Structure 1
Amino acid sequence: MHKEEVTCNACGTIVFDKAIFCYQCGNQVKCKNCQEVLVAGARHCIACGVPVQDNQELTPKTFNKIKFKENGEERLYEIEFTNEVGQEIKEVVADLLKNKLGASPEPKLSFTENKIASSLSVAPQVNSVALSQRSEPVEAALRTENPKPKENITVIPEYPHLNDLEVKLDCRENEWLLIYAFYSSGFGSGTFTKDVVWKQYKEKRLTETRFKNLGTNWKSLFKKHICTVKENEFKFTAQGLDKANELLLMATNGSKFPSRSPRKSVIFAQANLNSQRTNPVSRKTAANTIEADEFDVYKNEHKISLEEFFARKKPGTGNPNRIVTIAYYITKINHQEYFTEGNIDFAYRILNLSGKPVHLKQVIINLKNSRIWFQKVLDRGTNGWRLTRQAEIYVEEKLPASRF
């Protein structure tokens, strides 16, 4: 009669017919009482209920000994432990030796090799209770000599809700795109997609003018603030994270938004110093608070470029003609609902025009009052200007005529 073979459920070895333990690993495969084959992982026999001997007791444990003698005070550390325990504390011991003896002359060795920058010797099996009693004062000494470094805890700021930002922040449209991307990416910790950011922007900020400039504002972020991970997936650069945190933390702290172009302010101050003959240098900052507000100045199949339009109209060197010509291009050629002081500032820079008014906003207000060229516009916290019909006629008829 063929007898069923019994296989050790620990190592897979086929055991002898009358064997109770595996001859390879020592694992108990049958019940001592009734010879019933044991189920894998069983603690009791399924036939008679007799407890199964724990196989861990059959495995000999290797104990290792560390001796460390400190010169001067003749302080001696001695500890014994198994390989398993040693694996947990070898880093602490190695650091202790490094601090006491200087740089470690040898690489760190595992306890299975029984070496650790000091004499280790294999000892006979010892009583575990006595071992724990001996190790406690030594472990305390190790902790005192070489305390574990404190973990760096990153504190995530409590950023405001997006709805609150509409009230607290007054920033440019490309910066709003940056903010929506920052929230979409888990405050810069992950990636984001263009579709999600654009959807949020359209729900919160979209107007006809902003929609026309959306592509330009989005592309401007790639200069410094965001970069491509793969198709339609992007992440923040280090400079982009700094910029987003600058915007949001200022809103959180309730602080006044700082000037984002200190270098531009220096250029303005130097230009004024050179242009004024004997007048004292003005320390007023009103002109420096205007930030360049970008818009589409380039030629496409539907319109000419700002530079070409400016060349056709020939407004001259007077700021009133220059400003009304730029405003006409923005609202009539570019089809924006209104223009801002930042748009005019940006156009002066793009066209490389000299003599830009120091107090640009005041010049626009004066033209509004004296020539009735502009009307004030307030759009969701953004101050802008709309061209009057009188200003449109002036550009079309008083300046050199052109068709576009």
Structure 2
Amino acid sequence: MMEENMITQCPNCSKVLPPKKVYFCGGCMTQIRCKVCDDVLEVDDVGCTNCGTLRETKNSTISPGIVNANTFRLHETNSDRTIEATFSDSVGKDLAGILRDFSINNRSKTINATGFNIQQIDSNKSMYEENLKMIDADFSEQETAKINVEKEVKTEEMQSPQYLSLLAIAMKKLPASETEWIVVYSFFASNYGKDLFSKDDLLEKYKESNRLDDSKKSYLSRNITAAVKGGYLNPLATGYSILEDGVTKAKEIISRTSSSPVKKTSAKKSSTETGAGDETSTKKSSRGKKTLKRLNNIDFEPEGKESLKDYFSKYTTVSDSERTLLFINYMQNILEISPITFDHIFTCYDLLNLRVSENLQQTVRNSANTKGWFETTGGVMTLTIKGKNQIRDWNKN
């Protein structure tokens, strides 16, 4: 009985105990007596050394200064041991690190926080690892899902190219002909060259650009045929595909910074004119033709460079389209002339004593539309990528 009266302070937190016999400290809820035999418990003992009863643990009363307390509870099924601790927010943030220490060291550590301790006990490593996985999953599941969604959105945005809308392209009048419009529509209808498309898909693009009318519907097939002949589209059994040259051409049209020059619209069009229904194409007529002249200020036998005659003799040509392609390539890349006009083309024909078309301008325009080797925008000739590839293939042979 004397021993009972001698316990005046809590051996854990030094709080003064009441004069009556108590089993727990009111300050830290540490068990100080065995509830079976009333024997005094040492602060480091797991249980009573007299009867073997395990020490009980209770939720600690929050000490002054601790706010936003968080309770941690760990239950071991093998031995039915229970550990409970109350943490402040600042201590609770380190909970994951503490659990990792449990797993790595295979032992629990004493945790000192605002006046209370969690005693060291032997631990089951596999159980702590399982608990750690569960806690990590609780903390990171929602955050991981959010990050994955953000990554998917960013990846999709990076893979989706940004182009002007069809309405914006129409407002700027970037395509110079209806054939070029068909190429642009095909580019969008094919998902930028990835999918097949149909005539109905093209009509939808006409509507999207606010350009659909009865004339466009009537001449749709002919304009598609012109794009096919130009090497931009490929007709298949179940629809159309846009070729690499078509994709390149569409991107070039969309990237233009200003409106393309509009050709005069003819009231009547010849049935043999390419791209029927094209509101910007000119009529095939001798009326209003420009008189071409030979340019005598150009040296076609330059020193240190190949002459036109020698260059032209290396190739076997069978059409005006092929001859015009060679003339443009020679003047653009060997003589480095810019701009190249119809007068330049006429001069090459005349210099080599070749037969010249009665309407050379229209012949060159038709070649540009059907072959796609060069362009004649504003009466100025420039090679296209397809034309450059044709020259390369010619040189290989």
TM-score, normalised by the number of residues in structure 1: 0.29
TM-score, normalised to structure 2, is 0.30
**Could you say which structure has the larger radius of gyration?**
2
The structure in which a higher percent of residues are strand is 1
